[in-house]
Every structure is written in C-alpha cells, then in structure tokens.
Structure 1
Amino acid sequence: MNATARPQPGMRSHYRAFRPITTRWMDNDQYGHVNNVVYYAWFDTAVNAHLIEHGALDPAHGSTIGFVVETQCHYFAPLAFPQNVEAGIRVAHIGASSVRYEVGLFAEGAETTAARGHFVHVYVDRTTQRPVALPSVLRKVLEELL
C-alpha cells in the first residue's frame, strides 16, 4: 500500500493577491460551520472578481469566458458566521487556453489556510464554446499572480 502525503495547510506568503470575504448567516450548516459547497463559491468569487477588477474578464459581454473543468479543496480548520475570511489567490500554471488557479482561505489575520484548493479554467469563445488562446490582457494579469 502506497502512503500518500497528507495535504497540509498553505501559508499566507504563498499567495499573490487577497480578497476579503464576509461570511453570511446562511453559509453555516447544521453543524455550525460554513458548509463545504460555500468554499467553492468563494474560490470562484475571489478569482473572477480579481480578473474583472483588473480588466481581464467581462462576464456579461466578453467574447472569451472561462469554463471550470477541474476543482478540488482540502479542509483544515472550520470557518463560521460571523467571521471574516481572506481569500489568497495565485496562479500555478498558464497554458495556451487554460489556467490553474490556487486559492487559500484564511480566517482573518491567520497565517495558515483553513482550506486550500484549486480549479482549472479553460477559456473558450462565448459563441462556439471551443477553446481559444488566452487574450493578452488576461495573460498579463495571470502572469502577475504566478
């Protein structure tokens, strides 16, 4: 039987940009902590908000949009309402039409992640939904997150 290394929390210093997230009453589940599906919404929100704010994504009118093709999350410590969360963002890989984003979720001020994960976007033409080369403005913003 092969032993696989157990995932470990990430460090704040490993991330290039941060976005504050305010938990909501409805985020908590019956166990009194944020439900696991909410973490994925935070990943999506943190990355896409960063791209929009830096002029690299126009979800309503842009000709290029990102489709999530892979996602994963490791959980290390619970988060709960009312608590402020900070999402750290970095890019692990830039391909011709794809990007692997890595996101760490931190309790406000914490040095290690409560959860960390990744997702892969494949960028496609909005009309044909076929992969396209990353637009130069998007590539520039992504390179700043490497």
Structure 2
Amino acid sequence: MVAGTVISAGGTLAAGQAAEDASKFEAAQYRRNASNTRGSAQRAGEEQRRNKRLAQSRLRAVAAASGASASDKTTTDLDASIEQEGEYRALSALYEGEEAARGMEDAAKGALYEGKVRKRASQIKAAGGILGSGGSLLDKYG
C-alpha cells in the first residue's frame, strides 16, 4: 500500500511538472508569434508608406503632364490627402500588429500561470494522497 501511494504521488508530481513544462513551451511559441507579428506589421506599415510615395509621385507626374504647377491648389490638396491617408494606413498596420502581439503575449502569460497552477495542484494532490494513505495505515495498524 505504501509503495502504491508513493508511486501514485510520484506520478501526480510528474504530471504537474509536465504540465508546467508544456506551458513554458506554449508561452515560448506565443512570444515567438508575437515577435513575428510585430515584424509583419512593420513591413506592412512600410509597404503602406511606399504605396503613398508611389501615389504622390504619380500625382505629380500627371499634374506636370497636364501643365499644372507644383504649387497648384488642387495638386497640393491631393498631395496632402495622399500623405494623410498613407500615413494613417501605415500607422493602422503598426497598431493592429502591436495589438495582436500584445494579445499573444497575454496568452503566453496565461499559459505560464496555468502551468504553475497545475504544478501546484499536483503537489497538493500528491500530498493529500500521502496523508490519506498515512491516515488509512494509522487506522488499520494504529
């Protein structure tokens, strides 16, 4: 009976440790994904800025071909609108990526917490099993 109790407690503790190890691995994956998401968002933001510059360049080329001056109000208004829209899109891409990354980092923290709780629960369960067996032995042989 004692050997069975010790083996059961050892298995319970091992399961708790395995749960904590798995949560650490999961958290590392979440953190890696968060880093990748930030990188993708930065690339998306730069792509938006590149598109903005291309649109401004096209506007200027079309305006010049039509005989409009660079200081023409319509041209400058359109150029300013393109600038604002392009920067808005770039910053939006960065914001969305950052928010997604933060969500992944929060998930990593949750996974770590869950692993610690499972490990602690296994310790309590193992201790309870040992104490319960000790009580049974005391009742039986005490």
TM-score, normalized by length of structure 2? 0.20
Point out the structure with max Rg over C-alpha.
2
Higher strand share: 1
Higher helix share: 2
TM-score, normalized by length of structure 1? 0.20
RCO higher in structure (CA 8 A, sep ≥6): 2
